[in-house]
Amino acid sequence: MPNVLRFFVFPAVLVSALISCAVPTDRPRLVLYVSIDQLRGDYFERYQSEFTGGFRRLVTAGVNFTNADLNYAASETGPGHATLGTGAYPATSGIVSNEWIDPRTRREVYCVEDSTAEPVEGYGGGFSARNLLVTGLGDWLKASSPKSKVFSLSPKDRGAILMGGKHPDGAFWYDRKAGRFVTSTYYTRRLPSYVRSLDVSEWIEKNVPPSWEKLMPESVYAKYGPDEMGGEAKWQDDSSFPHPFDQENIKEQIRTSPYVDVLLLDLAREVINAEELGQRDVTDLLCISLSGCDYVGHAFGPNSHEVLDYLLRIDQALGAFLDDVERRVGKDAVLVVMSADHAVQMLPEYAKTIGNERSRRIIFRRDLQPKIAALAAASRKELGLLESPVQQNAFLNYEAAARVGIDSVTLEQSVKRSLLTIDGIEDVYFRRDMTSRENVSSYLDKYQRSYYAPRGKDFYVRFCEDCLITSSPTGSTHGSPYRYDTHVAMVFWGAGLQSKTVTREVHTVDVAPTIAKLLGITYPSTVDGIPLPEVTN
């Protein structure tokens, strides 16, 4: 009778429920959906011989996709986690960047901001999934199986929120000032006791040593290059190990270390135990986004000893975590899916030492902004405008052009000609390019998958490949459509899957529908990806 009643109120939910009833009962009871922020696709191959724990276990015994790619241009944390969580490109999910400018108000919008989401028990607040335009894997699971539970955890608010979908049972992230996990009233009005207990357990004092030192002998790291290289950020006085923690700032400082993710895995243990995830007669979903790799990679670059040590420590921590989960849930009852939101560019200073002479660091404010301003002034004079044709944050002054009889195409052509004379700029795409299917290049195609008009700029600049566009004289970043930013790891392990290596190109947008098909649940038409047959067949 309940299903009959739901037919009249929620027909889509009933369809999902009916389909799920036909699923074999041996499907996994717990899905661990793990994103390692900034996990490049080449890390597993490069450091394969050094891994002995969780990474080795997943890669050698799972389905390892070595050619996984974002397939869109917005290689940032927000879009990356939204794509993993929803199976939708940024153009569909609406999460087009970590921040975007509202074209109507010209106000900057943070991807998970929500002024109506209040703090819980004095902490957190301000964030939710309100800006996410589509549902996610967790929502599909709960529609199919109302008793299933969905939780999402990350040191980053956007990592936890965007992987968890619209309405998980809980989403928790790390407050670097308070040194505790928080949430908002969008999810709950009372913090679970296990989160509260971990928050007051003095975890940092008990588990973080006075300094971050190398886990393995020096000979392990020396094989991959020097400890200190040009372009690395300084940790106090230098960029080489050891890295002493400043006790006054340690709550924030642990983010740029492996320890923030070891802490997160302890929270994951608490959630599994207290919520009995995977220990009931339904399938539960736990999304875990580990952020330390991103912070370390930004500071020291992907070829650093710091990134290697992070990976070695998380390899061991994940191995111990998986052992604990299997003991509690059951050896054959767990499905682990691991991927990443984006990758990262090599430090230009390091790239040149290994022969990539075209790699360079471009400081935007110093090297590009003055040239753009000068060309905008020249274009204004050329067109006979009283105001600059280029406004702040990549918007164009179409109104000023129209007042002197210049149409939008002429204005855009003039701006494009000017921008393309600047060293470092390869191409310029306008709104009309984003919505047209004519003359679509491989790069324009990636920008189109990242474009949602109500949150889009008037034009987008593609900078030169191997050019690190940054505001800092040290460290690395991401955000380009190039492979060093878009090639990520992807592994499926457990639930009866057989070991195999897949070399064909696949995309992160495929992960969520693949998990859904494995679980026998339906997903909506907003999904852009397709199930991967190497996993589902």
| DSSP per-residue codes, 149-176 | -EEEEESSHHHHHHHS-SS-SEEEEEET
CA distance 359 to 466: 5
Write out the two tokens for 233.
Answer: 């950020």
- Looking at residue 20, its pLDDT comes to 33
The answer to whether the bond into 2 is cis (omega within 30° of 0) is no
Instruction: Find residue 491's DSSP bridge partners.
Output: 64, 338
- Supply φ then ψ for residue 157, to 5 degrees: -60, -45
130 and 104 together in one domain: yes
**50 belongs to a structural domain:** yes
CA distance 34 to 358: 35
What residue numbers bound the domain in which 427 lies?
Answer: 360-465
CB 300 within 8 A of CB 239: yes
54 and 180 together in one domain: yes
Domain boundary among 405, 431, 465: 465
Q: In this structure, what CATH number is given to the domain that contains residue 238?
A: 3.40.720.10
**474 belongs to a structural domain:** no
Between β-strands 68-69 and 487-488, what pairing exists: parallel, antiparallel or unpaired? antiparallel
Write out the two tokens for 191.
Answer: 């913090």
Other residues' Cβ atoms within 10 Å of the Cβ of residue 436? 12
pTM of the model: 0.93
CB 315 within 8 A of CB 166: no
Q: Which residues contact 301 (CB under 8 A, 6 or more apart)?
A: 229, 231, 232, 307, 344, 346, 347, 350, 475, 476
Q: Print pLDDT tens along the chain (537 aa).
A: 333 332 223 333 333 333 333 334 578 999 999 999 999 999 999 999 999 999 999 999 999 999 999 999 999 999 999 999 999 999 999 999 999 999 999 999 999 999 999 999 999 999 999 999 999 999 999 999 999 999 999 999 999 999 999 999 999 999 999 999 999 999 999 999 999 999 999 999 999 999 999 999 999 999 999 999 999 999 988 999 999 999 999 999 999 999 999 999 999 999 999 999 999 999 999 999 999 999 999 999 999 999 999 999 999 999 999 999 999 999 889 999 999 999 999 999 999 999 999 999 999 999 999 999 999 898 888 889 989 999 999 999 999 999 999 999 999 999 999 999 999 999 999 999 999 888 788 899 999 999 999 999 999 999 999 999 999 999 999 999 999 999 999 999 998 999 999 999 999 999 999 999 999 999 999 999 999 999 999
381 and 322 together in one domain: no
Q: How far is CA 320 from CA 265, 309, 310, 326, in A?
A: 10, 17, 15, 10
413 and 505 together in one domain: no
**222 belongs to a structural domain:** yes
Residue positions counted in the chain: 537
178 and 310 together in one domain: yes
**Taken in order 387, 392, 393, 399, is the CA torsion positive or negative?**
negative
- Looking at residue 441, its pLDDT comes to 83
| Residue position matching structure tokens 């939204």 | 82
* Angle in degrees, CA 113, 478, 359, rounded to 5: 160
Q: Environment class of residue 537 by beta-carbon count within 10 Å: exposed (0-12), middle (13-18) or buried (19+)?
A: exposed
**505 belongs to a structural domain:** yes
245 and 265 together in one domain: yes
b/e map of 133-165 (b: 16 or more CB within 10 Å)? bbbbbbbbbbbbbeebbbbbbbbbbbbbbbbbb
| Residue position matching structure tokens 């474009």 | 451
**332 belongs to a structural domain:** yes
Q: How far is CA 428 from CA 291, 369, 503, in A?
A: 32, 16, 32
120 and 164 together in one domain: yes
343 and 369 together in one domain: no
**476 belongs to a structural domain:** no
Q: In this structure, what CATH number is given to the domain that contains residue 405?
A: 3.30.1360.150
CA distance 127 to 149: 21
- Looking at residue 201, its pLDDT comes to 96
The total domain count for the chain is: 2
Query: Of 116, 151, 111, which is closest to residue 133 (Cα–Cα)?
Result: 111
Per the rule left: phi > 0, alpha: psi between -120 and 50, beta: everything else, 207 is alpha
